[in-house]
Amino acid sequence: MNSNGTYRQYLDFLQEKMMSCQDGATIAPDNINQHLYDFQRQITAWAISKRRAAIFADCGLGKTPMQLAWADAICRQEGGNVLILTPLAVSYQTVREAQKFGICAHRATNSGEVKPGINITNYEKLKHFNPGDFIGVVCDESSILKSFQGVTRKEITKFMRKMPYRLLCTATAAPNDYTELGTSSEALGYMGYVDMLNRFFRNDRNNTSNGRFYGKKTEWRLKGHAEVPFWQWVCYWARALRKPSDLGFSDEGFRLKAKTEEVHEVETNTLPEGRLCIVPATNLQEQREERRRTIPERCEKVAELVNHDKPALVWCHLNDEGRLLKSLIPDAVEVSGSDSDDRKEEKLMSFANQESRVLITKPKIGGWGLNLQHCSHVVMFPSHSFEQYYQAIRRCWRFGQENEVKVDIITTEGEQRVIESLKSKSKSADEMFDRLVELMKDGQDIVRKDNFKKKEEVPSWL
């Protein structure tokens, strides 16, 4: 091939990698759907003006109506179509929310049929759609993007690359994992994940495999002088709130019901092989062995706790746990990984519609997006993932819940360090949100775009 052909191929390659980075139009909050609260209309108007934005709003603060109003305003203003991507079963709830707010939305099918206006589908069905049919895309529960090497993240980022309007919505970014912030920024067309690490962080172990933080084994940490600039940069493209007053609005109607949390340490009948007593597991392998060895005792405790006539939500992690729990709780429905996507949605919706009393599933299957305020009893086995723990509880403990929520955590003597890890990460999450809210309240989030797009220049003396 001649040099001109190679050059054109290279230009085509660069064009494919380029992101759409235009500014959005200003829209007054009063022109946003009037069924929304004042703070929701303000956030939605800001997101439209940014074109590419993220909303980190706590569970029950109305991310679904905000993203619907965002999509509706763009469809009316630009005359194009918007695609809303959701976790399994959440698309049904999103369509119902659209009807409640007087917004026309269509639940798309496997065929990839696109109707004028707002189309809603699951992440699993994205492959059936053509990005050229849309001017905007919404990623509901966008935590899915944080898997830096994940195939799904790459597929979504590629789908959004040329999209002029993009919105990411999630309840919380993982406090011990800055990867999510980097991959979110990259999907929106701002700073890339690796660029974010190089600009704001220091690598203590010369390992670029991820951006996770593990207590004293920190691989990446914020540079001392970069902490404030880093959170200012995040506030430039994201809004975070746990309650309306974080943005200066009234909290009336948005006060959480009480939550009680109890840890049940069950006694086991068998000792680890080669040991005379039980000691806390010191690594993941020992914790997994402990979990498998104590399945019968832990599951029997769960069955005992949910032996009542009210709805209950049970979270497990192993297939053997799910199968045993289903046999011990006769009026329960189990959603497992072997179920087809359609069957999973059917079972999840049966619980959401109060057709089943008890739901048994894994956080990675049903832990995102579902609104289950009718249930006020959560029973779970712990893991090191704070995000799974947080999302699992917040399916029920959220704004709109009318009853006090009871959370029962089933563990063993050998899993003490798992509970300690969750407590530490919970503290980190509070600190992260406090920092974001503090910067927004102080007005430090109003950062000129030029600060992050200043052209590099070679000094004249060179």
Domain ranges of the chain: 3-252, 259-423
State the pLDDT at residue 217: 44
Highest mean pLDDT among 139-148, 208-217, 419-428: 419-428
State the pLDDT at residue 210: 47
pLDDT exceeds 70 at position 146: no
Class of domain 259-423: alpha beta
State the pLDDT at residue 288: 77
Residues 222 and 201 sit within 8 Å (Cβ to Cβ): yes
Structural tokens at position 172: 């919380």
Q: How many of the other CB atoms lie within 10 Å of CB of 457?
A: 6
Q: Report residue 437's pLDDT band, with 50, 70 and 90 as the boundaries.
A: confident
Helices (H) and strands (E) in the chain, counts: 15, 15
Task: Determine if the pTM surpasses 0.85.
Answer: no
Range 73-88 average pLDDT = 92
Q: How many of the other CB atoms lie within 10 Å of CB of 348?
A: 26
Range 93-116 average pLDDT = 89
Task: Identify the residue with better confidence: 101 or 288.
Answer: 101
pLDDT exceeds 50 at position 185: yes
Structural tokens at position 174: 């993982």
Per-residue buried b or exposed e for 398-420, using 16+ beta carbons within 10 Å of the residue's own CB: bbebeeebbbbbbbbbbbeebee
Place of tokens 């890890």: 421
- N- to C-terminal Cα separation, the chain: 38
Q: What contacts 455, CB < 8 A, 6 or more positions away?
A: none
Q: Report residue 65's pLDDT band, with 50, 70 and 90 as the boundaries.
A: very high
Range 12-18 average pLDDT = 55
State the pLDDT at residue 284: 67
pLDDT mean across residues, the chain? 82
Angle at 349 between CA 292 and CA 314, to 5 degrees: 25
Q: What contacts 300, CB < 8 A, 6 or more positions away?
A: 328
State the pLDDT at residue 15: 53
Cα separation, 290 vs 342, whole angstroms: 34
Q: What contacts 50, CB < 8 A, 6 or more positions away?
A: 24, 237
Give yes or no on whether 3-252 and 259-423 have one common fold.
yes
Highest mean pLDDT among 63-77, 195-209, 427-441: 63-77
State the pLDDT at residue 55: 93
Element (H, E) at 135: none
Q: What contacts 117, CB < 8 A, 6 or more positions away?
A: 72, 75, 81, 82, 104, 105, 106
- Mean pLDDT is lowest, of 50-54, 74-78, 252-256, 456-460, for 456-460
pLDDT exceeds 80 at position 9: no
Q: Report residue 84's pLDDT band, with 50, 70 and 90 as the boundaries.
A: very high
Encode pLDDT of 149-176 as tens digits: 577 778 888 898 889 999 999 886 554 5
State the pLDDT at residue 181: 82
| Superfamily of the domain at 3-252 | P-loop containing nucleotide triphosphate hydrolases (3.40.50.300)
Element (H, E) at 379: strand 377-380
Question: How far is residue 357 from each of residues 92, 243, 319, measured CA to CA in Å?
Answer: 20, 30, 20
Q: Report residue 213's pLDDT band, with 50, 70 and 90 as the boundaries.
A: very low
Q: Report residue 320's pLDDT band, with 50, 70 and 90 as the boundaries.
A: very high
Report the C-alpha dihedral over residues 296, 299, 305, 311, rounded to 10 degrees: -150
Residues 184 and 145 sit within 8 Å (Cβ to Cβ): yes
pLDDT exceeds 60 at position 446: no
Structural tokens at position 95: 């369509």
Residues 225 and 246 sit within 8 Å (Cβ to Cβ): no
Question: Residue 195 carries which DSSP code?
Answer: H
pLDDT exceeds 50 at position 448: no
Q: Which segments of 159-275 are extended strands (E)?
A: 165-170, 201-203, 220-222, 238-241, 259-266
Cα separation, 33 vs 382, whole angstroms: 40
State the pLDDT at residue 341: 85
User: What are the φ/ψ torsions at residue 312 (nearest 5 degrees)?
Assistant: -145, 145
